[in-house]
Chains A and B, each alone.
Chain A
Amino acid sequence: AQSVTQLGSHVSVSEGALVLLRCNYSSSVPPYLFWYVQYPNQGLQLLLKYTSAATLVKGINGFEAEFKKSETSFHLTKPSAHMSDAAEYFCAVKNAGNMLTFGGGTRLMVKP
């Protein structure tokens, strides 16, 4: 089964700084990849997904992710962090039976 690894369980940035959340996948075939965001005491919300149409994927709230096959990565970025971006972010990959396997999550903290 394919898996994803999120490097860094906690990331802290200053407001206005670049956000970079890392996700690496293990797959021998082109994967379907996802980023979800979870605000406290809420469910997960889809930020963006890669389905092999384009390597640079734009999502909601100014986030984007680039699929890099050579690096087996799908890192999430945002040019300028906002206080409202503070949340937990999950990377996921589609496996057999259309099921998703999630990474361990990265908590993003934004300092004023």
Chain B
Amino acid sequence: DGGITQSPKYLFRKEGQNVTLSCEQNLNHDAMYWYRQDPGQGLRLIYYSQIVNDFQKGDIAEGYSVSREKKESFPLTVTSAQKNPTAFYLCASSIGDRDRPGYTFGSGTRLTVV
């Protein structure tokens, strides 16, 4: 079955370290997205990519970086510049067809700074 896989499920980071969250999809979707979720704050868009080798900043891109070298993969790096990285991170994808809108989500990665 097709879907989106996020790994790891739980991740612990020491202060000053960069960490990379994995997001892989086998849905043949063109667009992929990263969201951050904090308690009581809904979903906030970090980065998105609508085509391979291209991506755009979302509302809270500072301290994060992404790449989109393959259609299936959209990894997110949380850099040491992100001052408060502890959060739940969600990856999503969409088919990119305006007549078939809607996202498919991964199961999330919970990042904790220790």
Do A and B share a complex?
yes
A residues in contact (CB < 8 Å) with B: 9, 32, 34, 36, 41-46, 49, 51, 90, 94, 97-100, 102-105
Interface size on B, residues (CB 8 A): 26
A104 engages B42 (CB within 8 Å): yes
- A104 to B92, alpha carbons, bound, how many Å? 17
- Please choose the segment from B12-20, B66-74, B77-85, B101-109 that sits at the chain A interface, where 4 or more of its residues have CB less than 8 A away: B101-109
12 contacts between A and B (CB under 8 A): A9-B40, A32-B101, A32-B102, A43-B105, A46-B104, A90-B43, A100-B102, A102-B42, A102-B43, A104-B41, A104-B42, A105-B42
Residues from chain A with a CB closer than 8 A to the CB of B110 are 41
Task: Check A43/B43 contact, CB under 8 A, given A94-B101, A99-B48, A100-B102.
Answer: no
Contact B107 A43 (CB under 8 A): yes
In the assembled complex, the Cα of A34 lies from the Cα of B108 at a distance in Å of: 20
Supply 7 further A-B pairs (C-beta < 8 A) apart from A9-B40, A44-B92, A49-B101. A32-B102, A34-B101, A36-B105, A43-B90, A46-B103, A46-B104, A51-B101
With both beta carbons as reference points, the residue of chain B lying nearest to A43 in the complex is identified as B105
Per the 8 Å Cβ criterion, residues 6-49 of B in contact with A are 6, 31, 33, 40-43, 48
Interface residues of B (CB under 8 A from A): 4, 6, 31, 33, 40-43, 48, 50, 88, 90, 92, 94, 96-98, 101-108, 110
Which 5 pairs show the lowest CB-CB distances between chains A and B?
A: A43-B105, A104-B42, A94-B101, A44-B105, A43-B107
Q: Chain A contacts of B92 at CB under 8 A? A: 43-44
Contact across chains for A41 and B108 when beta carbons are under 8 A apart: yes
Of chain A, the residue at the smallest CB distance from B107 is A43
Q: Are A42 and B94 in contact (CB under 8 A)?
A: no
Tell me whether A44 and B90 are in contact (CB under 8 A).
yes
Point out the residues of chain B lying under 8 angstroms from A90, CB to CB: 42-43
Which residues in A have their C-beta under 8 angstroms from that of B98? 98
Q: Which residue among A32, A36, A45, A100 has the maximum number of chain B CB atoms within 10 Å of its CB?
A: A100
